[in-house]
């Protein structure tokens, strides 16, 4: 099968995730703890935020196209929602940003949404397969009743 978005390209693109995580960590650190380097630290932090934001948006689009080719877009969106929630919680734990109330609730709701969506898809798949097996069994019983089965 000839695809525009190959698995090799997807694996290579994941190396940029480490760089983006490092840039975001440095940017948050500069905003929270960089008082000695003001105003340069503020400008550098915002530059890193913008640069990382552009790379992350392009990556979300590219991997969205990659998932679309494989008919896995809902799983991709659930994974992205889960990742966003986990990043929010990790940044709060790492830098003690002081998320209060709705911030933590929002990040955990994104995680719960992704987990709930995944569970719903698994249960739905199980029910559909079970129904297909039941339908096949009823069909075989009907064929046996009519004498159409061969041994």
Question: Which phi and psi (to 5°) does residue 147 adopt?
Answer: 80, 25
Q: Which of 57, 93, 72, 67 is nearest to 10 (CA)?
A: 67
Instruction: State the pLDDT at residue 104.
Output: 61
Residue 92 CB contacts under 8 Å (≥ 6 apart), including other chains? 98, 99, 103, 104, 107
**What six digits make up the tokens of 122?**
């698994």
**What six digits make up the tokens of 32?**
């929270």
Summarize pLDDT for 100-148 with one digit per residue, the tens.
655 666 666 666 777 777 788 889 999 999 999 999 999 888 888 888 8
Q: Are 114 and 85 in contact (CB under 8 A)?
A: yes
Q: How far is CA 37 from the centre of its chain?
A: 36
**Residues 8-14: what's their mean pLDDT?**
86
Length of the chain, in residues: 151
Summarize pLDDT for 47-103 with one digit per residue, the tens.
998 999 899 889 889 888 888 888 888 888 878 877 777 777 777 777 776 666 556
- Rounded distance between C-alpha atoms, residue 65 and residue 36, angstroms: 43
């Amino acid at each position: 099968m000839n695809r525009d978005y190959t698995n090799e390209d997807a694996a290579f693109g994941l190396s940029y995730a480490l760089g983006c995580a490092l840039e975001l960590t440095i940017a948050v650190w500069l905003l929270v703890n960089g008082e000695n380097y003001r105003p340069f630290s503020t400008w550098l932090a915002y530059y890193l935020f913008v640069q990382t934001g552009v790379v992350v948006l392009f990556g979300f689009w590219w991997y969205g196209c990659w998932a679309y080719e494989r008919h896995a877009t809902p799983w991709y969106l659930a994974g992205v929602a889960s990742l966003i929630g986990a990043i929010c919680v990790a940044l709060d734990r790492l830098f003690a940003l002081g998320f209060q109330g709705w911030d933590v609730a929002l990040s955990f709701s994104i995680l719960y949404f992704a987990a709930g969506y995944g569970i719903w898809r698994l249960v739905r798949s199980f029910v559909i397969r079970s129904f297909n097996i039941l339908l096949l069994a009823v069909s075989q019983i009907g064929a046996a009743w009519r004498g159409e089965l061969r041994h």
